[in-house]
């Protein structure tokens, strides 16, 4: 990444606006993409960013850890023998540990995790597990054997490389899992303190993640509907609750064959026990909209906004066809209020131009696949030299339509007996009713809510925030590698998911911090850039006798300096070298 600026003149004064850009290869071309618009990088912006950093991470650069007592010493040095040893990644783990402490997890773990005769505190083991999941997701074995010794996390936690091994990390998983509920309650409180937010609206969604291996010892590992397109693997379902802006507040794990709608009541009651009841509005997608769930929510006085099943659109044909009554609430989005069958509910018909284009493209894609496959099948039947098995061909057509179910209703197929060599002919006819209904319903959906004091626009904006829950799943799977699960023991599976959840807490905290500092919303870009900031041991041979060893942090380049200034972080210049008794470490 590097800096670019644009100069503009306004009111006789020259303004220089900075951008942080990176080069990205797309095919054969290399293009420049803007990572963040940094504005004029004025002093006021830096002061505001520094104030936000102080509220989040305090002033870690002033800690005793970063004072080795050599700042004011002067010694004669033989330049010929100066060398550098022990290079470690520093910036990304420094930021991860700052986030860990900023959300109060270090203090929380220190208070609740058991303390006995263990040589390494479990709060430090937990910090290693979560920092590794954030910076470079991998197995506990990889952390112990490779990642940990490549980073400066041992210096920051005052732990030797040999003190972190896979067995200690596994035991750390076990210790952390016991306090899942208390962790969620703590994070909910800390979220409100850091970002001055109230958890009035809770977004709820369900996903799945699959296992590598048989997972015979885990009763939750079942085969079910796989969002990862791995029906061949056992899986578990994860139900996640996030705040309106996507901050994770809690989750639960269910068996892999659990239907989404059966998880709602359990999740609502569990989250309310941890976060309170007053003023909550639950938002969920249409997978939760069973008649039983809606009746339970209404009977218990809970407020909700839920997407209605796709089948509800069939009852709205007249409203969809009627051009009047629509209200434009955003460019490309219009809504219409409907008369519902439940007096205390509001039904809102929504229509989105972007969603219409997406669904139309999907219909065309699957239709093209079906047409091409049916044409090939017709050609094979026409060229047959001997009778074909009619039942087998029928099953083949059924599998084809099942794989492309979104457009399957567009085609009507008939195997008509005749005098050909195959014994029958495949006749294909397109269903005109499918095309008529698709043209009317593409991009449309129905919302149901018993929140009567919000207008249609506010209800729609709240419901569309479900994309925050979907983004949370995407980040957990793609960036934090919650999938696939390699653990086989049930408790270790739960602990693995908990560590991923805590890593996502740090991820989301960094994302919200970036947004407030004007740095976009790509934590991975920031972490990768900070990972290039290293610590080194600089050895200075003295002119008289002996040598001086200094553990120094490299100076950031121009792009890194901008990121640090906007985030309000001041890197330390030195690290105090920990005095660790090596024989004691080996005996541990």
pLDDT at 42: 54
Q: Is the pLDDT of residue 249 over 50?
A: yes
Model's pTM, two decimal places? 0.84
pLDDT-derived band at 53, boundaries 50, 70, 90: low
Q: Is the pLDDT of residue 581 over 50?
A: no
* Last residue within a domain, chosen from 380, 409, 441: 441
Percent of the chain at pLDDT > 70 equals: 87
Q: Of 109-123, 203-217, 561-575, where does the model show the most confidence? A: 203-217
Q: Is the pLDDT of residue 285 over 70?
A: yes
pLDDT at 256: 94
Least confident of 68-77, 93-102, 440-449: 68-77
Average pLDDT over residues 423-433: 92
Query: What would the pLDDT profile of 76-128 be if each residue is shown by its tens digit?
Result: 878 888 889 999 999 999 999 999 988 999 999 999 987 777 788 899 999 99
Average pLDDT over residues 178-200: 83
Whether residue 416 is found in the same domain as residue 460: no
Whether residue 296 is found in the same domain as residue 215: yes
Whether residue 468 is found in the same domain as residue 391: no
CATH number at residue 223: 3.30.420
Looking at the domain assignment, is residue 298 inside a domain? yes
Q: Is the pLDDT of residue 54 over 80?
A: no
Based on the structure, what is the number of domains in the chain?
A: 2
Q: Is the pLDDT of residue 472 over 90?
A: yes
Residue 348 CA to residue 308 CA, distance in Å, equals 10
| CA 445 to each of CA 20, 201, 338, 442, 463: distance values in angstroms, whole numbers, following the listed order | 39, 21, 12, 9, 12
Cβ-count burial 416-449 (b if 16+ within 10 Å, e if not): eeeeeebbbebeeeeeeebeebbeebbbbbbbbb
Whether residue 302 is found in the same domain as residue 207: yes
pLDDT at 275: 76
Q: Is the pLDDT of residue 35 over 70?
A: no
Average pLDDT over residues 348-374: 94
Percent of the chain at pLDDT > 90 equals: 52
* Last residue within a domain, chosen from 488, 503, 518: 488
pLDDT-derived band at 364, boundaries 50, 70, 90: very high
Whether residue 408 is found in the same domain as residue 432: yes
Whether residue 404 is found in the same domain as residue 454: no
Residue 569 CA to residue 574 CA, distance in Å, equals 15
Whether residue 455 is found in the same domain as residue 434: no
Average pLDDT over residues 192-203: 77
DSSP 151: B
Whether residue 284 is found in the same domain as residue 228: yes
pLDDT-derived band at 67, boundaries 50, 70, 90: low
Average pLDDT over residues 562-569: 82
pLDDT at 12: 66
Whether residue 229 is found in the same domain as residue 289: yes
Copy the structure tokens of residue 381: 């039947």
Looking at the domain assignment, is residue 360 inside a domain? yes
Looking at the domain assignment, is residue 514 inside a domain? no
- Strands of the 29-39 sheet, one edge to the other: 2-10, 13-26, 29-39
Whether residue 302 is found in the same domain as residue 225: yes
Task: List the domain range (segments joined by +) for residue 368.
Answer: 356-441
* Last residue within a domain, chosen from 441, 466, 499: 441
Write down the mean pLDDT value for the chain.
86
Looking at the domain assignment, is residue 315 inside a domain? no
Q: Which of 271, 287, 282 is nearest to 304 (CA)?
A: 282
Looking at the domain assignment, is residue 30 inside a domain? no
Q: At what angle do helices 558-567 and 523-531 cross, to 10 degrees?
A: 130
Least confident of 64-73, 269-278, 343-352, 389-398: 64-73
pLDDT at 587: 35
Looking at the domain assignment, is residue 574 inside a domain? no
Whether residue 380 is found in the same domain as residue 429: yes
Whether residue 282 is found in the same domain as residue 264: yes
DSSP 445: E
Looking at the domain assignment, is residue 228 inside a domain? yes
Looking at the domain assignment, is residue 83 inside a domain? no
Q: Is the pLDDT of residue 58 over 70?
A: no
């Amino acid at each position: 990444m590097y800096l670019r600026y644009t100069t503009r003149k306004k009111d006789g004064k020259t303004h220089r606006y900075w951008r942080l850009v990176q080069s990205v290869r797309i095919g054969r071309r290399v293009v420049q993409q803007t990572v963040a618009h940094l504005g004029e990088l004025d002093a006021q912006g830096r002061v505001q960013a520094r104030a936000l950093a102080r509220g989040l991470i305090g002033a870690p650069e002033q800690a005793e850890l970063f004072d080795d007592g050599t700042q004011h010493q002067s010694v004669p040095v033989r330049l010929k023998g100066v060398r550098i040893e022990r290079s470690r990644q520093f910036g990304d783990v420094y930021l991860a540990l700052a986030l860990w402490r900023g959300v109060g997890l270090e203090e929380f773990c220190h208070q609740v995790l058991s303390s006995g005769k263990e040589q390494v505190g479990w709060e430090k083991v937990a910090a290693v597990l979560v920092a590794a999941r954030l910076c470079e997701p991998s197995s506990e074995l990889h952390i112990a054997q490779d990642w940990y010794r490549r980073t400066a996390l041992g210096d920051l936690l005052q732990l030797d490389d040999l003190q972190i091994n896979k067995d200690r990390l596994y035991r750390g998983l076990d210790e952390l899992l016991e306090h899942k509920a208390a962790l969620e309650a703590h994070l909910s409180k800390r979220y409100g303190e850091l970002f001055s937010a109230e958890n009035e609206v809770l977004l709820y969604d369900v996903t799945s993640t699959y296992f590598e291996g048989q997972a015979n010892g885990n009763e939750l590992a079942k085969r079910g509907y796989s969002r990862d397109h791995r029906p061949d693997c056992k899986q578990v379902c994860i139900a996640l609750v996030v705040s309106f802006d996507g901050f994770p507040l809690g989750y639960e794990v269910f068996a892999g064959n659990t239907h989404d709608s059966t998880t709602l009541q359990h999740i609502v009651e569990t989250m309310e026990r941890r976060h309170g009841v007053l003023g909550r509005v639950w938002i969920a997608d249409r997978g939760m909209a069973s008649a039983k769930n809606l009746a339970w929510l209404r009977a218990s006085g809970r407020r909700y906004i839920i997407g209605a099943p796709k089948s509800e659109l069939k009852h709205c044909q007249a409203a969809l066809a009627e051009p009047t009554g629509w209200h434009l609430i955003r460019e490309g989005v219009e809504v219409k209020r409907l008369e519902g069958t439940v007096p205390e509910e509001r039904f809102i018909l929504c229509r989105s131009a972007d969603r219409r284009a997406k669904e139309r493209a999907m219909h065309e894609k699957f239709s093209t696949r079906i047409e091409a496959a049916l044409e090939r099948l017709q050609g094979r039947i026409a060229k047959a030299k001997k009778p074909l098995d009619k039942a087998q061909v029928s099953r083949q057509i059924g599998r084809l339509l099942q794989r492309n179910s979104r457009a399957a209703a567009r085609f009507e197929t008939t195997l008509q007996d005749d005098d050909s060599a195959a014994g029958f002919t495949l006749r294909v006819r397109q269903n005109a009713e499918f095309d008529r209904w698709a043209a009317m319903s593409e991009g449309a959906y129905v919302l149901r809510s018993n929140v009567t004091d919000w207008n249609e626009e506010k209800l729609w904006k709240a419901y569309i925030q479900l994309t925050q829950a979907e983004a949370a799943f995407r980040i957990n799977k793609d960036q934090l590698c919650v999938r696939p699960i390699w653990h086989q023991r049930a408790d270790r599976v739960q602990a693995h998911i908990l560590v991923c959840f805590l890593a996502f807490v740090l991820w989301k905290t960094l994302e919200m911090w970036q947004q407030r500092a004007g740095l976009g919303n790509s934590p991975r870009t920031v972490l990768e850039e900070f990972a290039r900031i290293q610590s080194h041991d600089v050895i200075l041979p003295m002119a008289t006798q002996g040598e001086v060893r200094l553990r120094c942090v490299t100076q950031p380049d121009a792009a890194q300096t901008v990121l640090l200034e906007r985030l309000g972080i001041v890197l330390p210049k030195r690290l105090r070298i920990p005095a660790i008794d090596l024989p004691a470490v080996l005996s541990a």
